[in-house]
Structure 1
Amino acid sequence: MSKVAIVTGSNRGIGFGIVKALCQRFDGVVYLTSRDELRGKEAVAKLKYMGLKPEYHQLDIADKSSVEKFRDHIKEKYEGIDILFNNAAVLDTEVDSRTYEDAKRVIDNNYRSIFYLKELIYPLIKNNGRVINISSDCGHLSNIRNEYWIKRLSKPDLTEADVNEFVEWYLESVKNGTYNCDDIADEGTIPSYRVTKVALAALTMVHQRELESKNISVNLIQPGLVRTDLTHGVGFFSVDEAVETPLYLALDAPPTLKGAYVWYDKKVIDWYDSKSDCYFKLSSMSS
């Protein structure tokens, strides 16, 4: 049976670039997925015009029924999955957004959706498969300034329950008006996105332990500030440049690289160094 690679949220931006690069290098089937079917099929048409041959399937990772349909499709056509890129994500509507509705939207899409994937898609990942979680500098622990949560998220026996409580703590603080911007780096800009990316990083460590028995690697990539629609065209890297390290993690990295927070230059960064300068700075968007 064919090898299979899947990229969530890949009708544009980094996700689209990863699909394009995989189609050029991966010896197997590459799935471009998107929440909006029309936009997804338009993206596939662009790649086919380039002579590439991705497969397409609609996938809204925040909708369990959509994930179930995709799971059933993959099970019917293939034996399993070799590579999974968790790329789909949304951003706060404003840099200093404080609304509960916006916070919940970001958390549902960027964080809670991972549990649908874990329940329905992760069991299809073959032995020695690879999961690459697309993050950003917003995902480094130094984005959090609350000492209690820094300590708790750093513990070696971290569980999903710990990470859930961290996310719920933030969401409740927004809901009841107790949110303190001093708990988040850079004066609390884009707080919901930071919280979800830090939480995803923490889950990376947890899920690596859980998938170790199948020798599956779960790693996190910070691709740098990339010129995409999400960044409104601001960034230091083009999409083609930014996909080099994600592709390295999928195809070339040694199988011993596991549970790592990898910088855009392929260097492994200490995610637990909460005093580091790795956190996102809004000023970088205008520099």
Structure 2
Amino acid sequence: MTSLRVAVVTGSNKGIGFGIVRTLCKQLENGIVYLTARDEGRGKEAVAKLNQEGLQPKFHQLDINDGESVARLREHLKTVYGGVDILVNNAGIAFKRASTEPFGNQAAITMATDYRGTLDVCHSFHPILKPHGRIVNVSSMNGVKAFDELSEENKAHFRAIKTEEDINLLLKDFIEAAKEGDHKSKGWPSSAYGTVKLGLICGTKLLGEAVQKDRPQDDILIMACCPGHVRTDMSSQQGVKTIDEGADTPVYLALLSSGSTEFNGKMYFDRALVEFM
């Protein structure tokens, strides 16, 4: 057990996640930062790069789509540190515009990681989250755009969400429509990534409400954010921000001081609140 503050960043061997680890290593006082990746070799190479900068992150293998992998990391953190203080859920996928993968498959695969995998990590880590803990789910303004492109009927369904199962059913309907090729006629956007990230924003809101109800005295915050258009492999290096600039808002939220309850369950972009729906 230790009084050190422990941070975990998923999908962080490159891109925005790597920038978040680097920034946390510099800004997290009395802290330990875990860089995680599905591939152990790539993860350790990323740690070595940061070591060359004088930073000392630790590595642990993590595949957010593998329940056993998630459980191994959770138990490691619980045994060694008594829990975790900061979780930044950065791991995610996005298909390129030129992808030949059928749109329905794109929707299902994206949901499995960007929504289901992310929320599974949140649920798994919730019991070991220490008082004053912070969870930051990296989402996207594409989720906001997806909401704007919904039919009025589907907008009403999203506004009426009360439980995670409500989100699951909506995303299931979207995937089924995408596989049938009639998602547009059924009032859904043409962006699988945006629609799934909308689901994540809604899921984050529910998680924030739940933790406030279950642990009201623990000052735990669960938030979503958009890092911006960042130059990464995912964006084909077309972004306007560096990975360190993209890390700014996620790290800002992860390091919020006590008494920042107004942030809980909400969505942020460039440190500013995003209100929609």
Same fold (TM > 0.5): yes
Contact 2:154 2:187 in 1 (8 A): no
- Name whichever of 247-256 and 43-52 sits farther off: 247-256
Distance across 2 between alignment mates of 1:61 and 1:146: 32
Shift of 1:166: 1.1
Shift of 1:252: 3.6
Task: Structure 1: state its 5+ residue gaps.
Answer: 273-287
TM-score norm. by structure 1 comes to: 0.87
What does 1:97-176 correspond to in 2, within 5 Å? 98-140=102-144, 142-155=147-160, 158-176=162-180
Counterpart in 1 of 2:92? 89
- Name whichever of 255-264 and 50-59 sits farther off: 255-264
Contact 1:17 1:240 in 2 (8 A): yes
Counterpart in 2 of 1:56? 59
Amino acid across the alignment from 1:7: V
Task: Structure 2: state its 5+ residue gaps.
Answer: none
Query: Is the partner of 1:73 in helix, strand or coil?
Result: helix
Contact 1:11 1:40 in 2 (8 A): yes
Task: Report percent identity of matched pairs.
Answer: 36
Distance across 2 between alignment mates of 1:247 and 1:86: 12
Query: Is the partner of 1:226 in helix, strand or coil?
Result: coil
Shift of 1:199: 0.3
Amino acid across the alignment from 2:68: S
What does 1:225-236 correspond to in 2, within 5 Å? 225-236=229-240
Contact 1:261 1:271 in 2 (8 A): no
TM-score norm. by structure 2 comes to: 0.90
Query: Is the partner of 1:121 in helix, strand or coil?
Result: helix
What does 1:1-287 correspond to in 2, within 5 Å? 1=2, 2-27=4-29, 28-94=31-97, 98-140=102-144, 142-155=147-160, 158-180=162-184, 183-185=187-189, 188=190, 191-212=191-212, 213=215, 214-252=218-256, 255-256=260-261, 257-264=263-270, 266-272=271-277
- Name whichever of 140-149 and 1-10 sits farther off: 140-149
Shift of 1:99: 3.6
